[in-house]
A and B are shown apart, each in its own frame.
Chain A
């Protein structure tokens, strides 16, 4: 008999064997993100710290790039995790999938080392191709962009061909079209323009159409599947909800792109179009929240994987508040004129990325651990009622919410002093930065940042140990009937 409760890939299908590689790398990069977030945040308050050694721009770049990349690793892993179950057949290109993983991982490693040790180059095309593209979130040099597209093509082929060979479903259709769009939109960020208005116009195609269109639909697909798995939700209901979400999300989110076209040189009609459509974006997020809560409520929140379910609920709330509410705050041009490019934006960015996307990936990590250990029960049978997952859940969420509120207060001060009173000059900027409440808020950001770091340590400790023998009551393995 297989030794239950120890991590053993024998419990996994071939898609899942690939998935756990992606998940492991995602956790590593999550740690990198938080380490460099702490460095950047510390420098913000103590500018001498690492001055001219690793400057703020380098730390910040690694912080936000590690985030984008770990979330992508998590998403790719999640799709590989569900593919065989959904398509009812084996993954077509196992070797290919492995190859893609290593190409991506080596590329990421090289890019991070170049960011840290070469940092920047002279003003030339070579710098942009080899060192750093210098555009927020997609700083990876052009050679790496091409590598990423190549890996995405492998991934896309694998998913598409597996569904074609096996069983096609509603979720499969949405997923395949969405992945094609997600990869296609990335191409919009892969050319150089000396015109900054043109540059930012296309740059937002990548950034906005990822997080407010294609990524939302992708997590919709993952959520649909996970609800069927964790609480046995009905396929027809889940699929219908997915179509409703796509209708509402893309109906508002595609033209909602206009909320980034208020002030970059683009025509005045974007003030109306962007304001109107982006103001509708919270509607699908409410729908998603209601759907998740209703479905879980119907099943009395009973599940065999409590940590995963808890993180899914955190996702539903986080998506609604971080994106829907915090985004809505500043999406009308009359308000955005004052909040644009201030700590308000950072406040929203943190709550939205964490609430909408980090959470659902963490839920998938717990889904994976459960099966990886032999489909064990991760509910009431955990030792000490599973204090580790509960503590890390609490610390991470309190940390991010606390940081978000600190930045909101700072952002309010900055919008008022720098934008409204001082008219955004050099001296006006620093007047806001040295306001006592602004400074206090920035200290609080770091306090909550350290809480996040602690939460992450406990999360990793829990992921490594949850469900092992010593962690179960009476040391007795309790298995799910499969």
Chain B
């Protein structure tokens, strides 16, 4: 057995005990401080995470040279399904969209903001996907697809179809609103090189 006083200070139990407490405390403190700042910056209505009324506007996703990354570009008025919404109405719609996305468990097939499952395409910029053809038909095609994905399937030769989730029309529309809003979030350039629907 080694005697206690033969151990050099940097190999002693006591030194490492203190360092464990100090380092853990310090890192936790830094995380808490950063959390205050981040929560502020990701609250809906901030620069990075726009207010829900952004669904009244046109949204695009473009390369920004100075930032060296893609970023959302918010354009002129372009109301969803032709209805300009007040802040309250927009929030109600987005809330229903989010509740439906959770209740139907979309994230165990899809990724949103790149997190979730890998069975189906990432939905971060689904609103801007060139697969919807042209802007004039996008809303109708999305609605048709979500209400009946089986008969509107594309699958690109894979036969991996999305099942019919029994969405009501109100739920499907709120999901489209949600996807439109989500495409306006500044995600530091993910996904990169995304080719958007013809503007």
Chain A residues close to B by CB (< 8 Å): 43-44, 47-48, 51-52, 55-58, 60-61, 119-125, 127-128, 131-136, 139, 170, 174, 192-201, 203, 234, 236, 239-240, 243-244, 246-247, 250-251, 254-255, 257, 260-271, 273, 337-338, 340-343, 345-346, 414, 419-420, 423-427, 429-431, 433-434
B114 partner, pick from A131, A136, A194, A340, beta carbons under 8 A: A340
B187 in contact with A263 (CB, 8 Å): yes
Contact with A along B106-138 (1 / 0, CB 8 A): 111101111111111110111001110000000
Given A198-B43, A425-B130, A254:B157 Cβ within 8 A: no
Contact with A along B1-38 (1 / 0, CB 8 A): 11000000001110011011001100110110010011
B99 partner, pick from A43, A128, A200, A234, beta carbons under 8 A: A128
A271, closest chain B residue (CB): B188
How many whole Å from B25's CB to the nearest CB in chain A? 9
B103 in contact with A429 (CB, 8 Å): no
B115 partner, pick from A55, A131, A239, A264, beta carbons under 8 A: A264
A341 partner, pick from B2, B23, B122, B194, beta carbons under 8 A: B122
B37 partner, pick from A132, A246, A267, beta carbons under 8 A: A267
A247 in contact with B20 (CB, 8 Å): yes
Given A123-B103, A341-B111, A425-B129, A196:B98 Cβ within 8 A: yes
Please, how many angstroms separate the alpha-carbon atoms of A197 and B2 in the complex?
54
A261 in contact with B38 (CB, 8 Å): yes
B185 in contact with A265 (CB, 8 Å): yes
B111 in contact with A266 (CB, 8 Å): no
Q: Is B95 an interface residue (CB 8 A)?
A: yes
B174 partner, pick from A48, A52, A57, A123, beta carbons under 8 A: A123
Known: A48-B159, A197-B185. 4 other contacts (CB 8 A): A51-B161, A243-B19, A264-B187, A430-B154
Chain B residues with Cβ under 8 A from A434's Cβ?
Answer: 156-158
A-B contact list, 6 entries, CB within 8 Å: A61-B105, A198-B39, A263-B190, A267-B37, A270-B38, A343-B118
B186, closest chain A residue (CB): A265
Chain A residues with Cβ under 8 A from B12's Cβ?
Answer: 240
Chain A residues with Cβ under 8 A from B160's Cβ?
Answer: 47, 430, 433
How many whole Å from B102's CB to the nearest CB in chain A? 3
Please, how many angstroms separate the alpha-carbon atoms of A286 and B111 in the complex?
32
Q: Is B168 an interface residue (CB 8 A)?
A: yes
A424 in contact with B125 (CB, 8 Å): yes
Given A196-B98, A263-B113, A426:B131 Cβ within 8 A: yes
Chain A residues with Cβ under 8 A from B129's Cβ?
Answer: 425-426
Chain B residues with Cβ under 8 A from A338's Cβ?
Answer: 192
Please, how many angstroms separate the alpha-carbon atoms of A51 and B162 in the complex?
9
Given A47-B159, A124-B99, A195-B44, A61:B108 Cβ within 8 A: yes
Please, how many angstroms separate the alpha-carbon atoms of A454 and B37 in the complex?
50
Q: Is B42 an interface residue (CB 8 A)?
A: yes
Please, how many angstroms separate the alpha-carbon atoms of A44 and B157 in the complex?
14
B17 in contact with A266 (CB, 8 Å): no
How many whole Å from A188's CB to the nearest CB in chain B? 10
Chain A residues with Cβ under 8 A from B193's Cβ?
Answer: 420, 423-424
Please, how many angstroms separate the alpha-carbon atoms of A251 and B30 in the complex?
11
How many whole Å from B68's CB to the nearest CB in chain A? 11
Please, how many angstroms separate the alpha-carbon atoms of A264 and B189 in the complex?
10
Q: Is B198 an interface residue (CB 8 A)?
A: no
B27 in contact with A136 (CB, 8 Å): no
B104 partner, pick from A120, A192, A193, A260, beta carbons under 8 A: A120
A427 in contact with B131 (CB, 8 Å): yes
B17 partner, pick from A170, A341, A433, beta carbons under 8 A: A170
Please, how many angstroms separate the alpha-carbon atoms of A338 and B189 in the complex?
11
B110, closest chain A residue (CB): A57
Given A61-B105, A254-B28, A243:B161 Cβ within 8 A: no
B195 in contact with A246 (CB, 8 Å): no
Q: Which chain B residues numbered 154 to 175 have a C-beta less than 8 Å away from chain A?
A: 154-161, 163-165, 168, 171, 174
Please, how many angstroms separate the alpha-carbon atoms of A415 and B44 in the complex?
31
Chain B residues with Cβ under 8 A from A426's Cβ?
Answer: 121, 126, 129-131, 154
Please, how many angstroms separate the alpha-carbon atoms of A421 and B106 in the complex?
26
Chain A residues with Cβ under 8 A from B39's Cβ?
Answer: 198, 201
B158 in contact with A337 (CB, 8 Å): no
A247 in contact with B105 (CB, 8 Å): no
B103 partner, pick from A48, A120, A201, beta carbons under 8 A: A120
Please, how many angstroms separate the alpha-carbon atoms of A199 and B188 in the complex?
18
Chain A residues with Cβ under 8 A from B131's Cβ?
Answer: 425-427
Q: Is B85 an interface residue (CB 8 A)?
A: no
Please, how many angstroms separate the alpha-carbon atoms of A193 and B105 in the complex?
15
B167, closest chain A residue (CB): A123
How many whole Å from B47's CB to the nearest CB in chain A? 10
A346 in contact with B99 (CB, 8 Å): no
B103 in contact with A124 (CB, 8 Å): yes
Contact with A along B69-102 (1 / 0, CB 8 A): 0000000000000000000000100111111111
A203, closest chain B residue (CB): B115
B117 in contact with A246 (CB, 8 Å): no
B49 in contact with A197 (CB, 8 Å): yes
